[in-house]
Structure 1
Amino acid sequence: MSIAIISPGRDVSFWIKTFNEADPDIDIQVFPDIRDKDSVELVILWQHPKGILKEFPNLKLICSMGAGVDHILSDPEIPRSLPITRIVDPGLTIPMTNYVVMAVLNFHRQLYRYQSNQRKKIWDMSNPELKVNVGVMGVGALGSDVIEKLKILGFSVFGFGNSPKSNIDFPYFYGDELTQFLSKVNLIICMLPLTPKTENILNLDFFRKCNKGTYIINVARGNHLVEEDLLTAIDEGHVSGAFLDVYRKEPLPVDHPFWNVEEITLTPHIASVTNPGSAIPQIIENYKRLKSNTPLMNQINPILGY
């Protein structure tokens, strides 16, 4: 039995080193130099070439290299019978929450405005704080932690998701209540899983339902956002700006218009990065469970997409 890592263009040397330190008896093969495809029963994927898994006749388990699995589910040639697991790591939660809090405070205290004023040598002490009502779209493990921390900082926070929730201590909207949710907030954080229902959700119709001047933070997936619609919404004043960490194409092309829009702050998909030291023990445990035919950890529902 062998494990294959398929992550084109990504340096996986530290993953290999960590695997070898954790269990030197596990045979690791790395794409594109897969020497024995028949022996591969578990693959670790990130942005794999679509359709490639057909080349592994004895494949029994797919593991994502991170918390997201949309990059796997977007491959229509993967059999639905193959189990898929993801990484669940508190080490992903803390940096994500810190990043989002930073972006919220940037808007609340208008750091982007003062940075612009500095370049123009403008001294302007007016309106040093903006009133912010935060809306978090996606209230799973990551979103719930963001809500908790923002509440501690004194922000009014509202949640939105796909299904009803119980035992929560914040106003929550779901399903067809999106318009009601948008009416309550002027800063929106997208933390939704990427599914057919949520793809392109941040579009012009969405933005035109927002309160004028709403600010957008996207730390989920690039395909949640219709990029040209964001530019239109900024021009129309429905959106005052955005703080973006994810994009439809990464790295962001050098000729992309986002680079030159003063109202948009860009970071290169660094809000929360998987730590192999935390991920690999989970994968090894599932490797052992696969061999012993016991229930897997962190298995996702392919129909729900998470």
Structure 2
Amino acid sequence: MDTSSIFAVAATNKTEKWVDAFRKRAPELRVEALDDVANPDDVHWIATWETAPGRFASLKNLRAVFAMGAGVEKFLGRDDLSDTVPLIRLNDAGMAEQMFDYALYAALTVLRSFDQYARDQAEFTWKPRAPRSRASLRVTVLGLGTLGGYVATHLAQHGFTVSGWSRTEKTLPGVRWHGALDMLLGETDLLVSILPLTDETRGLLNARRLALLPRGAYVVNAGRGDQLDLDALLNLLDSGHLRGAQLDVFPIEPLPATHPAWENPTLRITPHAAAFTLIDEAVDQMVTKLAQFERGETVEGTVDRSRSY
């Protein structure tokens, strides 16, 4: 590679740690924080979560953008980023195992009645509940990409009955793929959404579809907040139709302190913390992808902008 070409880094925080990690992993690269670049024309590649509006326009020789996460919706439709510039997302970088932990926590909560015991404790109630088998819990995972596929297969390995839904048919060990979402929702005890945000998934879990879930079902959303009608979910929780929910993402983040969701006793809230990008793993993956890109090879994670992922 031309040593005069810059691989720029623009993280929302910890930029220095990212730059240091890139320099350690790939000393042959000229790595600089984007804010420290003297001549933007020297920037040929950039790794970033997002940049300020118009910032990409100054990078006239940009050859590729590496997203520091699996979601890429903040890069799409920008006036300052040409569709001809390849956009490459992370496939895992330590996130899949964390996402599995998040889903498993919800599955065990439902299986062992931990949510109900927590409410019993608040009411000073001693009420043992009968156990159930893992196979009796019907889990549906929405989104079977790198993260969702890992979650679905590992839940199946742990003995749960797992089905999956995705835009295209997938064959995963122990997982039944189902293409009819409405029908599948009616057969679901635990719904786990790990979908990317696209035009097709925005508002996917609306009031009508949430109501298709059987009485007593539990909902987990670790995809994107705009995919789920939060008001409809709260109504179904308040009515008792849904047993509970575990939400990591919201239409507005941080979730406003005045939002009624905070006070719902059947809703567990986490602050977009289901899975974090691990710096060393992410850097190793991006350096590998950059080498593949420069050799003209197919790079896994290259975004199809027509599909938004």
| TM-score > 0.5, shorter chain as reference | yes
Superposed counterparts of 1:109-258, under 5 Å: 109-129=112-132, 132-166=137-171, 169-174=174-179, 177-258=180-261
Q: Following the alignment from structure 1 to structure 2, what is the Cα–Cα distance between the partners of residues 49 and 296?
A: 26
After superposition, the Cα gap between the structure-2 partners of 1:48 and 1:247, relative to the gap in structure 1 and judged at 3 Å, is farther
Change (3 A) 1:212 1:66: same
AA partner of residue 10 (structure 2): I
- Is 2:109 the counterpart of 1:106? yes
1:77-119: CA deviation from partner (whole Å, max 9, x where unpaired): 4322111111123622222112211111112212122122223
Q: What is the aligned partner in structure 2 of residue 278 from structure 1?
A: 281
Report deviation, 1:146: 2.0
Give the TM-score taking structure 1 as reference length.
0.89
SS of the residue corresponding to residue 7 of structure 2 reads strand
Read off the aligned partner of 2:9 and give its amino acid letter. Answer: I
Worse-matched range after superposition: 74-83 or 23-32: 23-32
CA distance 1:77–1:98, change in 2 (3 Å): same
Which of 31-40 and 149-158 deviates more?
31-40
Contact 1:245-1:270 within 8 A present in 2 as well: yes
Normalised by the length of structure 2, the TM-score is 0.88
- Given that residues 92 and 147 in structure 2 are in contact (C-alpha distance below 8 angstroms), is that contact kept between their aligned partners in structure 1? no
Q: Which runs of 5+ in 1 are unaligned?
A: none
Q: CA deviation digits over 1:140-173, x for unaligned, max 9?
A: 2322222222223322211111122346543321
Q: Give the 3-state SS of the residue equivalent to 1:42 in structure 2.
A: strand
Deviations 1:244-270 (Å, cap 9, x if unpaired)? 122223333322322211111111222
**Cα shift at 1:183:** 1.4
> Kindly, what percent of the aligned residue pairs are identical?
28
Counterpart-to-counterpart distance in 1, 2:73 and 2:183: 28
Letter matched to residue 208 of structure 1: A
For residues 35 and 255 of structure 1, the distance between their equivalents in structure 2, rounded to whole angstroms, comes to 44
1:7 aligns with 2:11: yes
Distance of aligned partners of 1:225 and 1:167 in 2 relative to their CA distance in 1, 3 Å threshold = closer
Offset, 1:203: 1.5
Contact 1:207 1:238 in 2 (8 A): no
**Contact 2:71-2:196 at 8 Å conserved across structures:** yes
**Kept after mapping to 1: 8 A contact 2:93/2:285:** no
Superposition CA RMSD, Å = 2.3
Counterpart for residue 31 of structure 2: 28
Q: Does the 8 Å contact 2:93/2:281 carry over to 1? A: no
Q: Structure 2: how far apart are the matches of 1:198 and 1:35?
A: 41
Mapped to 2, the partners of 1:126 and 1:291 lie a distance apart of 59
2:45 pairs with 42, 46, 70, which one? 42
CA contact (8 A) 1:137 1:143 kept: yes
1:174-223 CA distance string (max 9 Å, x none): 2xx11111111121000112111001112212112221222110111222
